[in-house]
Structure 1
Amino acid sequence: MSGLVAGVDVGNATTEVVIVRYGVPVAWDRVVTRGPKGSPSSLAGAAALLRRLERGLGEAVAEVVMAPMRPVRTTTVEVPVVAAGTGRLRIVAAGSPTPGGEGVAVGRPLRLTAGDLPHGEDVIALVPRDLGYAEAARLVRAALDAGIPLLGVLAEGDEGRLIANRIGRPLPVADQVDVTAVAAADLVAVEVRPPGRPLRHLSDALFVAARLGERDDAPAICAELYDVSCAVVARFANRQADSVGPNAPEATIERAVADLSRVAATAGARAGTSRSRSLLVAEMSASAPAAPPVRLDVGSPGPAVSPGPARPDEDTARTPADRFPGGGTVPVRRAPSEAAAARAGALSTPGADRNSLVVDLGGGTVDVVGPPGEVVAAGAGDLLTAAVAAVLGIPRGAADWVKRGPCVRLETPHVSLGEDGSRVFLDSPAPPGSVGWLAVPGPAGPLPFSSAMSPAEWRALRLAVKREVLGATVRRALDALDSLGGRGGGSVVVVGGPAGDDEVLGVLARELPPGTVVGRGNVAGVLGHRYAVAYGLATGACPRE
């Protein structure tokens, strides 16, 4: 016997392997999980990682220890926020990232064409996407030269600045507007302010009531526009259908929950089960007015595949597993609980004690484990990525980098502005076209992601989203743990991949009683925060001297 034991943790996002000799870690590494957790490809990836570590040591392990594998499928749906009734007034655009010009204008909406526009009334020109910014600017200049009171421009594309720069006069130009919908209005108002400056007129209920009428409905419109710098409000001939009632938001969420349940049931049918472990409802509109959908996440057990021969619908907790995949002969021992292994590994952190509460942040779930028991809750790193992507309107691949920490704004090709107001000279010139954009360190250098807010604004919004997702999940888990007999009286040790986020400890501290000692795990004093489960698995079965 070599005395080497490998703890293998196949997670929803990454796979970690730790090899110990008599409880002391001698080799460890991690890779991205191949395919769903517990699938044959994920086990093959874990086996390849183990073989590589064995080659580095020059000897094979005597035993592999694994936990039951129940993959979590993170599914999100968008639930429209039920807004207050606004009568004939409607917000048709708000917060466009690329408006042009400056000012406020109210007039009749008319499509911009080569034909004559009326001389006797104020006009807001509508520019369809296929017209092009150069032709649109030419037609606007021609109308102004003819004395037509054209006061503002609404463009369907994202060419607001290009149009405004070619007009030669300071008209407000809003873009990314549904001009077909606006064309049906009898009156429209547009306001554009400098970047980062809030609206002055369309957030003023007296101004809206005086220029657009509908005094009783103006406050509801203005309440939605306090924090944006560009907006378009239209008045229609007919009142919109009254969608507000005492149970309207609840009914909307109930429909979304039913949709998620059908998704989970479909996944469960493929896996031979229809159980749904937990559901998270995260209200993003409170954190990000520009991103009003409610985000929902459901954790559904997918195919539970054992390390040894087993049917896809069987769980490693019930199925014998005697050999690790990949052609080897190493025996596999099952651990009863992944959460218990996480606790055992986390408590090896210097300064932790046996009464400490362990919070294991994963890709699909958050495991909160204390002396009285364990709670596994859906809504972790994957949902945070989805929420950031939704708030910013960027792909999830980019959101995975953007969510991690502070950003800078690229002020010039050589200077960046930090979230704390500091200016730093760049080691190399910023990428072409990225000046004026917020950026974070990405896999290939600076990763630009938004030009619509300041660094300080994104910091506040990012922390709010993390509290709404990670904080809410931990809060639910702590409440459930209380029902099992309390949380314990020691410190709180945070482990798992998202624990490496420098802002996570502050987010979680808000969910705990004041004065609670909260720290990041350092498994076995050398492994850091990621290897708690793998180390706990290995040491729970390792031979003793």
Structure 2
Amino acid sequence: MKIVAGIDIGNATTETAIGRVLDDGRVDFISDAIVSTTGIKGTSDNIPGIFNSLNKAMEKAGLDFKDLTLIRINEAAPVIGDVAMETITETIITESTMIGHNPRTPGGIGIGVGIGTRIEDLHEVEKGTDVIVLIPRDMGFGESSERINRALSEGISIKGAIAANDDGVLIVNRLKENIPIVDEVTLFEKIPVGMLTAIEVAHVGAVVEVLSNPYGIATLFSLSSEETRFVVPIARALIGNRSAVVIKTPKGDVKLRSIPAGEIQILGEKNRLKVNVDDGAKVLMDAMGKCHPVKDIVGEPGTNAGGMLEKIRHVMAELTGQHHGDIKIQDLLAVDTISPQKVTGGLAGEFSMESAVGVAAMVKADRLQMEVIAREMQEKLGVPVEVGGVEAEMAIKGALTTPGTDIPVAILDMGAGSTDSSLMTRNGKVDLVHLAGAGNMVTLLIKTELGLDSLELAEDIKKYSLAKAESLFHIRHEDGSVEFFDKPLDPKLFARIIILKDEGMVPLHADLSMEKVKFVRRKAKEKVFVTNALRALSQVSLTGDIRGIEHVVLVGGSALDFEIPQMVTDALSQYGVVAGRGNIRGCMGPRNAVATGLVL
């Protein structure tokens, strides 16, 4: 009788399965464990995580290391995801042209155009001159409203106001006439005085329409067609705002600078193709298909794409001790996305939504590197350690322990960094493929498109459903259903979008609608997992056609997601393929497939 441990090193988790191999060859599984992976997959940094996972499984089984006959680890291919920007028009607003801004509670409603004038200088304004009043930080709403009322009664034409403090509503409530007031202007001191200024405040629930339209700005400032072309980035940055400010001087200048994303060269065994990232993800992925199988992928030096791919090589060379030139990128997933780009010189940190291409790249698995990890483990534990096989092949052996499965069968192993697929035919022959892009890529897309500060928050949005706290006693789930509570909710949740985590409700502190967050989350999952599922299965299919595959078992951590399996199942049903979430050994769900396969 032998006791064998199988350890699957993934991008996010390291899983262990321990089995007792009986004399007749059958395997009796006695323990399992899962921990977070340490370091980048496929490097020596994985060893602490491997020991942690193995220790947990051994304790659970009540065994010592001396009881182990053999440890088998997978061949691990690292995957690194990043966003390579498409050509971005970087908008730089100089001192003479400024934009803003989107406070939660501006005052009044409408459009005002006039010369920017300090409130203390109102008495010097000539009759008949339209003015926009500038109210400094050190003046309260009482005094400022009193001064504006006095000026109005003296016949001064006040068309609107810009306030440094959050006083817009308080001021407008005390005025004789309703004027638009934009408040909470962070960079108030940078506003040029004596310049033609336009402000717009929309109704509650509405957005600005004139200052978010290039021709609207052109009308207010009497711009020529050439000048109108230069205000397009300003208008774009103001789309979706409830209030807006545009200030122009005679020397107004908006600089446009293009940041090239660059070319990516795909080196296949038979074809070599160059693709400009500006052409978008579809063209890039079509080129990947034409160059299959891919030997290496190279980016153009001095560009976003080139820098990103070279950074991947550099990181992997440092971690593995290999020469920079020996690191080969074997696969790449590109998806179109949108990235908020900061507008330099705005009044309150404005952003303009720009097109981008998200890229996940996979470095070719190096068995030698895994042998180094195996040797180091063997020295420390005194137990034979061997590199057992590639993930996709091991996963199919594990997946076949799912009740109701039989060969021929295909699996989709959907993890954090890669989507692996393998197909076992009736004669036991296995075809397999490893593709870049999985759960981590989805998290990155959610973070990028929603403009979030943290990957942890993006990860929570990916993993959990949403709701909105409509009162202290009920929430409305994202599917429209309502849930009531006997005890009042935490007041911090009221009127906010909340993430329904297992440990409780977490408010989302971002100015986003539930519909937008849900749309971005689902679209990101679709772009990565549905795309990769179709790509992977067409590559392992004997005919190159997914329709030739009958059954697909979904395994891996991402198969536990509350949306992804249904999305993939729906997509595959259009090809007549039966797909469903695996249940490894009849008790593990879609987890532990590779570790189980390593033991078998």
Report what 2:466 is aligned to.
Answer: 407
2:61 maps to amino acid: L
Query: Given the alignment, which residue of 358, 375, 381 partners 2:411?
Result: 358
Structure 1 stretch displaced more, 372-381 or 143-152: 143-152
1:445 maps to amino acid: G
Report what 2:420 is aligned to.
Answer: 367
Report what 1:64 is aligned to.
Answer: 71
Once the 2 structures are TM-superposed, how far is the Cα of residue 115 of structure 1 from its aligned partner? 4.1
Once the 2 structures are TM-superposed, how far is the Cα of residue 396 of structure 1 from its aligned partner? 1.1
Aligned residues of 2:73 and 2:374 also touching (Cα < 8 A): no
Whole-angstrom distance in 2 between the partners of 1:479 and 1:205: 46
Structure number with bigger Rg:
2
Cα distance 1:319–1:210, how it changes in 2: closer, same or farther (>3 A)?
closer
Cα distance 1:476–1:180, how it changes in 2: closer, same or farther (>3 A)?
farther
Q: How does 1:160-309 map to 2 (within 5 A)?
A: 162-169=166-173, 171-173=180-182, 183=192, 186-195=196-205, 197-202=206-211, 210-214=219-223, 217=228, 229-232=242-245, 237=250, 240=254, 250=276, 255-270=303-318, 271=320, 272-274=322-324, 275=327, 276-285=329-338, 291-292=353-354, 294-299=356-361, 301=363
**Which digits, 9 at most, give the CA deviation of each residue in 1:6-64, with x for residues without a partner?**
21112121111112233343221211122333444532332233233223323333322
Once the 2 structures are TM-superposed, how far is the Cα of residue 124 of structure 1 from its aligned partner? 4.4
Aligned residues of 1:138 and 1:167 also touching (Cα < 8 A): yes
Whole-angstrom distance in 1 between the partners of 2:539 and 2:163: 51
Cα distance 1:224–1:329, how it changes in 2: closer, same or farther (>3 A)?
same
* Matched residue SS, 2:591: coil
Q: How does 1:145-160 map to 2 (within 5 A)?
A: 145=149, 146-147=151-152, 149-152=157-160
Whole-angstrom distance in 2 between the partners of 1:295 and 1:361: 22
Cα distance 1:512–1:186, how it changes in 2: closer, same or farther (>3 A)?
farther
- Point out where structure 2 has 5 or more consecutive residues left out of the alignment: 21-25, 264-275, 280-299, 342-350, 425-429
Once the 2 structures are TM-superposed, how far is the Cα of residue 226 of structure 1 from its aligned partner? 6.7
Query: Given the alignment, which residue of 92, 95, 106 partners 1:100?
Result: 106
Is 1:330 aligned with 2:334? Answer: no
Whole-angstrom distance in 2 between the partners of 1:153 and 1:302: 60
Query: Given the alignment, which residue of 590, 593, 599 partners 1:529?
Result: 590
Matched pairs, number:
517
Report what 1:13 is aligned to.
Answer: 12
Aligned residues of 2:339 and 2:356 also touching (Cα < 8 A): no
Whole-angstrom distance in 2 between the partners of 1:36 and 1:510: 33
Cα distance 1:417–1:324, how it changes in 2: closer, same or farther (>3 A)?
same
Cα distance 1:62–1:165, how it changes in 2: closer, same or farther (>3 A)?
farther
1:211 maps to amino acid: L
Once the 2 structures are TM-superposed, how far is the Cα of residue 103 of structure 1 from its aligned partner? 2.7
Report what 1:387 is aligned to.
Answer: 445
Report what 2:116 is aligned to.
Answer: 110
Cα distance 1:211–1:506, how it changes in 2: closer, same or farther (>3 A)?
farther
* Matched residue SS, 1:285: strand
1:370 maps to amino acid: L
Cα distance 1:205–1:17, how it changes in 2: closer, same or farther (>3 A)?
same
Structure 1 stretch displaced more, 175-184 or 529-538: 175-184
1:100 maps to amino acid: P
Is 1:34 aligned with 2:38? Answer: yes
* Matched residue SS, 1:330: coil
Report what 2:48 is aligned to.
Answer: 44
Aligned residues of 2:538 and 2:545 also touching (Cα < 8 A): no
Is 1:73 aligned with 2:73? Answer: no
Aligned residues of 1:436 and 1:451 also touching (Cα < 8 A): no
* Matched residue SS, 1:462: helix
Cα distance 1:287–1:173, how it changes in 2: closer, same or farther (>3 A)?
closer
RMSD of aligned Cα (Å):
4.3
TM-score normalised by structure 2 residue count:
0.72
- How many percent identity over aligned positions? 23
Structure 1 stretch displaced more, 325-334 or 180-189: 180-189
* Matched residue SS, 1:7: strand
2:110 maps to amino acid: V
TM-score normalised by structure 1 residue count:
0.78
Once the 2 structures are TM-superposed, how far is the Cα of residue 523 of structure 1 from its aligned partner? 1.3
Report what 1:516 is aligned to.
Answer: 577
Question: With CA pairs under 8 Å and 6+ residues apart, which has the higher RCO, 1 or 2?
Answer: 1
Cα distance 1:259–1:18, how it changes in 2: closer, same or farther (>3 A)?
same
Aligned residues of 2:200 and 2:245 also touching (Cα < 8 A): yes
Whole-angstrom distance in 1 between the partners of 2:465 and 2:305: 34
